């Protein structure tokens, strides 16, 4: 396996391929060509071949990919063969919703705690029973629970302070939903999901209706 | 202004620039160079110049960009000089949270209704008072309210059916949170935000710690 940096876009596509392969596997499909996989899931077959070739020779000429074998490899490449323990800082609407959302608190990722500074929220739980702790206990609980991913759902003006606290705990991966640009240590991976930016790109499309709409790359 | 297609990544960056300019404007900054803007917000100055040059000559050599002037232009380019009317299909945890989330139901975007098929949810409201309607009334309410953007927060196995209903209403822009690949008419812009894909890219990073982490492009 090559060890150079692969792009953020490639890892997103690997996630999409894995989901497609899992669907095929559930449907009892054992082998599939890149062409057929592309057709079925609205993907680009040349891109599939290129992305997967990067990680080694998975396909067999004239036969295609072995679905479960390739799914296992992608699972390993994406680090999903072990469970990640996740906490959410910010027990507001978005934080609690993510905590209880099946598309998020799901196989491979276990949300073990919420954190907040609001005394009214501390001591409570989400609907699904995830406890809300005092943000002051962050370091202690991160260590006790073996947390390796932190999700930030606090308001924009509180986000940097919380991210600084998270960096002190030694956690190396942060998913930020606060609409603000944050500084982290160089050895910490910060990913920002800005929901308003997504709405704005739709707004851009609506005010430029001459643009082709059908191109919907995996994101 | 050039009329060719600009990439999805460029529109995301324009959103980020707009947010930076609004921050500068609030802080009373009238002009800024691409270099200084890049330093302040952890962006790439050559990329800023390239992206903005695409839309015309905004900068003045030796002076930089006029902050409020450029912000106005970007607002117009992104179609944010008019309010978009948004509905959310799926009044579960995520749908209701987005509805009440300040980072989403915000300037330029007004969430006017939630939809669901669950009789227990229909007739209720979100915490902030947005009504939950029967999905059967989708077409009628989309027309009455002048809706132009639809957000999908139903489970994966219901998403295609709901998207088909949305396409029938004539709405041209869809933001999908269901973790599934969806088909739409070629004149409809579909954008998928897959929250699990974001977690998986962090997982990839954690299992490949030799990768540089500090590169965090605007998304």
Reported as a single tens digit per residue, the pLDDT across A32-81 is 999 999 988 888 899 999 888 877 777 777 788 999 999 999 999 899 99
Q: Which residues of B touch A184 (CB under 8 A)?
A: 213-214, 216
B119 lies in the same domain as B54: no
pLDDT of residue B43: 87
- Choose between A101 and A161: higher pLDDT: A161
Picking from A78, A179, A192, the nearest residue to B204 by CB comes out as A78
CA end-to-end span of chain A: 24
B103 lies in the same domain as B141: yes
Residue A207 lies in a domain: no
Question: Could you say which residues of chain B have pLDDT below 50?
Answer: 1-4, 214-219
Q: Which of B27, B45, B77 is the last residue of a domain?
A: B77
A157 lies in the same domain as A56: no
Task: Name A75's Cβ contacts closer than 8 Å, sequence gap at least 6.
Answer: A18, A81
Q: Phi first, then psi: what are they for A86, rounded to 5°?
A: -120, 140
Picking from B156, B194, B212, the nearest residue to A5 by CB comes out as B212
B72 lies in the same domain as B90: no
Rounded Cα–Cα distance for residues B4 and B109 (Å): 26
Q: Chain B neighbours among A 57-76 (CB < 8 Å)?
A: none
Q: Phi first, then psi: what are they for A15, rounded to 5°?
A: -60, -40
Q: Which residues of A touch B114 (CB under 8 A)?
A: none
Residue A216 lies in a domain: no
pLDDT of residue A213: 52
Q: Which residues of B touch A78 (CB under 8 A)?
A: 200, 203-204, 207
Q: How far is CA A98 from CA A46, A65, B76, in A?
A: 35, 34, 33
The helix/strand/coil state of A21 is helix
Asked if A151 and A138 touch (Cβ cutoff 8 Å), the reply is no
A40 touches chain B (CB under 8 A): no
Average pLDDT value over all residues in chain A: 87
Asked if B205 and A173 touch (Cβ cutoff 8 Å), the reply is yes
Asked if A153 and A98 touch (Cβ cutoff 8 Å), the reply is yes
User: What is the H or E stretch that residue A141 is in?
Assistant: helix A138-145
Mutation for testing the B interface, residue in A103, A107, A158, A214 having most B CBs under 10 Å:
A103
Cβ–Cβ gap B201/A155 under 8 Å: no
B177 lies in the same domain as B107: yes
Residue B216 lies in a domain: no
Percent of chain A with pLDDT over 70: 91
CA end-to-end span of chain B: 24
Domain count along chain A: 2
A66 lies in the same domain as A135: no
Tell me how close the Cα of B100 comes to any Cα of chain A, in angstroms. Answer: 7
- Secondary structure of B163-185 as H, E, C letters: HHHHHHHCCCEEEECCCCCCCCC
Q: Whose CA is closest to B211, among A202, A210, A10, A81?
A: A10
A69 lies in the same domain as A94: no
User: What is the H or E stretch that residue A113 is in?
Assistant: strand A109-116
Tell me how close the Cα of B61 comes to any Cα of chain A, in angstroms. Answer: 27
Tell me how close the Cα of A74 comes to any Cα of chain B, in angstroms. Answer: 10
Rounded Cα–Cα distance for residues A47 and A52 (Å): 8
Cβ–Cβ gap A203/B80 under 8 Å: yes
Q: Which residues of A touch B196 (CB under 8 A)?
A: 15, 103-104, 106, 109
The string of pLDDT tens digits covering residues B68-82 is 999 999 999 899 999
A46 lies in the same domain as A143: no
ipTM of the complex: 0.82
Asked if A135 and A117 touch (Cβ cutoff 8 Å), the reply is yes
The helix/strand/coil state of B89 is strand
Between vectors from CA B133 to CA B129 and to CA B136, what angle results, nearest 5°? 170
pLDDT of residue B214: 42
Q: Which residues of B touch A92 (CB under 8 A)?
A: 101
Residue A213 lies in a domain: no
Q: Which of B77, B111, B133 is the last residue of a domain?
A: B77
Residue B135 lies in a domain: yes
Residue A194: CA count within 13 A, CB half-sphere: 23
pLDDT of residue B59: 75
Q: Chain B neighbours among A 133-192 (CB < 8 Å)?
A: 148-149, 155-156, 172-175, 177-179, 181, 183-184, 186-192
pLDDT of residue A109: 93
A71 lies in the same domain as A99: no
B12 touches chain A (CB under 8 A): yes
- Choose between A124 and A106: higher pLDDT: A124
pLDDT of residue A3: 39
B98 lies in the same domain as B135: yes
Rounded Cα–Cα distance for residues B155 and A101 (Å): 10
Structure tokens at A114: 């919420």
Rounded Cα–Cα distance for residues A135 and B146 (Å): 43
Domain span including residue A119: 84-197
Tell me how close the Cα of A190 comes to any Cα of chain B, in angstroms. Answer: 7
Question: What DSSP designation does A37 have?
Answer: H
Q: Which residues of B touch A108 (CB under 8 A)?
A: 199-200, 203
Q: Which residues of B touch A188 (CB under 8 A)?
A: 213
- Note the pTM of the prediction, 2 decimals: 0.80
Pairing of strands A149-152, B173-176: unpaired
Asked if A12 and B219 touch (Cβ cutoff 8 Å), the reply is no
Q: Find the CATH number of the domain harbouring B44.
A: 1.10.10.10
**Which residue in chain B is spatially nearest to A94 when comparing CA positions?**
B97
pLDDT of residue B74: 92
Asked if B20 and B10 touch (Cβ cutoff 8 Å), the reply is no
Q: Whose CA is closest to A192, among A218, A156, A158?
A: A156
A144 lies in the same domain as A179: yes
pLDDT of residue A2: 43
- In DSSP terms, B64 is beta-bridged to B60
B99 lies in the same domain as B68: no
Picking from B94, B193, B210, the nearest residue to A193 by CB comes out as B193
The string of pLDDT tens digits covering residues A88-99 is 999 998 899 888
Q: Which of B37, B52, B77 is the last residue of a domain?
A: B77
């Amino acid at each position: 396996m090559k060890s150079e940096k692969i792009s953020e876009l490639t890892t997103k596509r690997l996630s999409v391929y894995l989901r497609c392969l899992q669907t095929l596997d559930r449907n009892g499909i054992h082998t599939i060509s890149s062409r057929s996989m592309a057709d079925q899931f609205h993907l680009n077959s040349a891109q599939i071949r290129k992305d997967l070739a990067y990680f080694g020779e998975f396909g067999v000429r004239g036969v295609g990919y072995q679905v479960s074998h390739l799914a296992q490899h992608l699972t390993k490449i994406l680090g999903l063969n072990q469970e990640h323990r996740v906490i959410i800082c910010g027990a507001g609407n978005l934080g609690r919703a993510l905590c209880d959302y099946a598309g998020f608190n799901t196989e491979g990722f276990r949300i073990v705690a919420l954190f907040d500074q609001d005394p009214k929220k501390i001591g409570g739980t989400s609907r699904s029973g995830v406890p809300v702790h005092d943000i002051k206990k962050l370091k202690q609980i991160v260590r006790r629970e073996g947390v390796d991913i932190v999700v930030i759902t606090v308001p924009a003006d509180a986000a940097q302070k919380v991210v600084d606290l998270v960096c002190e705990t030694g956690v190396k991966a942060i998913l930020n939903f606060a609409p603000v640009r944050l500084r982290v240590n160089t050895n910490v991976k910060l990913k920002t999901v800005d929901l308003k930016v997504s709405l704005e790109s739709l707004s851009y499309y609506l005010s430029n209706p001459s643009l082709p709409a059908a191109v919907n790359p995996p994101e």
